[in-house]
Amino acid sequence: MSFNSAPSSSASPDSLNQGLAKEASSSRAFGKHTAPFVILLLVITLLASAANLLLPESSSLYVSTYSITLLGKYLCYAMLALAVDIIWGYCGILSLGHGAFFALGGYAMGMYLMRQIGDRGVYGNPLLPDFMVFLDWKELPWFWLGMDQFWFAMIMAVFVPGVLAFVFGWLAFRSRVTGVYLSIMTQALTYALLLSFFRNEMGFGGNNGLTDFKEILGFDLQSDATRVSLFVITAITLSLVFVSSHFILKSRLGKVVLAVRDGESRARFLGYRTQNYKVWLFVYSAVIAGIAGALYVPQVGIINPGEFSPINSIEIVIWVAVGGRGTLIGAIIGALLVNYAKTRFTAIMPEAWLFALGAMFVLVTLYLPKGLMGLYDQLKAKYRSSTQPPASSPDDRSIHKESNQ
């Protein structure tokens, strides 16, 4: 649904029916992509998990624990790319600061994991983490209280990014800040958090961050079963987020969001409070990013201020652009492909990888403006047009009818 042009009162019933049929066809096509993708994701997850836990290491089908951890990290990145696609592809808000929400969710999980270490740390302090003992802290800061409870830490992993997104979004969207100015503000936000978390007096581990985790919910983080469980949980969470986002964006609310993207002034003229829709979607996107960060930390084993780097947020945008923004599936595929390529090529040409990434973004922008999903749609339409017979004209049909008579 779009408000690019005013509705014409002289529109014929045939044209209206064609528009409705096109919208329904698009919705069905989107649904056709959703279910198979979720099923494929879950099947691959189960097969990889079974290959790790049930097969011996000597088997050619064995999947190493390192590969399981790497796949889990990719899925967290895919969830983060999905969050950016929701706000950029469907609402037209180019956020260059979603790495901040991702990092905040990760720090919430990291604080919980640090509290679980207890007296098994280097200094043997049952209450204070090692970096606080090293910095001669005498007591636990107030914002660390309650982080020894898993449920409370998970609430904070969602609550803190959501509140920050709400405050930032309310101030920015109410002031009608848009375009490049909004992108610069989001980038400034994540850079400010980067500088703050680097400081030792903030109580988050400074430059080194939080690491040396031992267990989660009583399970050893180094065991194969725990690694596989985290991988499966990440895949299920990504599937749930993907399906819920699909239904939200295909609902009436999603159609209003698309209208705001395509013509905000006209949507506002029709009576919609566009800033409320933008704030709601921005908060929803930030919450998804926080969940992705919380799942990322126990699998990677560290969280530090480097996750706030604006470069990381820009890289997320590249994932979405490569896959195809405004498709959801494209964001996931782009994140998986680019990060796999990064893993492979950083080992082959570590110094040239950033140049390759920049070249990829330029080429996609010039030759694939709709990403890989746009290319797929073009090839699919071309194949259908080549296989379908040409439609006969009314004159041809009348001649054929007279010949039959």
pLDDT in tens, 57-84: 989 899 999 999 999 999 999 999 999 9
pLDDT of residue 402: 52
pLDDT of residue 297: 96
Q: 11-15, 92-96, 151-155, 339-343 — which one is most confidently predicted on average?
A: 151-155
What mean pLDDT comes out for the span 310-316? 91
H-only helix segments in 199-328: 224-250, 252-262, 264-269, 274-300, 310-323
Q: 144-148, 347-351, 357-361 — which one is most confidently predicted on average?
A: 144-148
Q: 9: which DSSP letter?
A: T
Backbone angles phi, psi at 302, to 5 degrees: -160, 150
Q: Over the stretch 370-395, which tens digit does the pLDDT of each residue have?
A: 888 888 777 878 877 777 766 555 55
pLDDT of residue 291: 97
Residue type, position 103, single letter: A
Q: Is the pLDDT of residue 310 over 70?
A: yes
Confidence of residue 217 (pLDDT cuts 50, 70, 90): very high
Distance CA 329, CA 321 (A): 12
Residue type, position 205, single letter: G
What mean pLDDT comes out for the span 82-101? 93
State the virtual CA torsion across 236, 83, 263, 276 in degrees, nearest 10: 90
Distance CA 91, CA 113 (A): 36
Q: Over the stretch 105-164, which tens digit does the pLDDT of each residue have?
A: 999 999 999 999 988 888 888 889 999 998 888 899 999 999 999 999 999 999 999 999
The answer to whether the beta carbons of residues 169 and 283 sit under 8 Å apart is: yes
* Tokens matching residue 266: 């006209």
Q: Is the pLDDT of residue 1 over 90?
A: no
Backbone angles phi, psi at 215, to 5 degrees: -150, 165
Query: 51, exposed or middle or buried, with CB in 10 Å at 0-12, 13-18, 19+?
Result: middle
H-only helix segments in 95-223: 98-115, 130-134, 150-174, 179-198
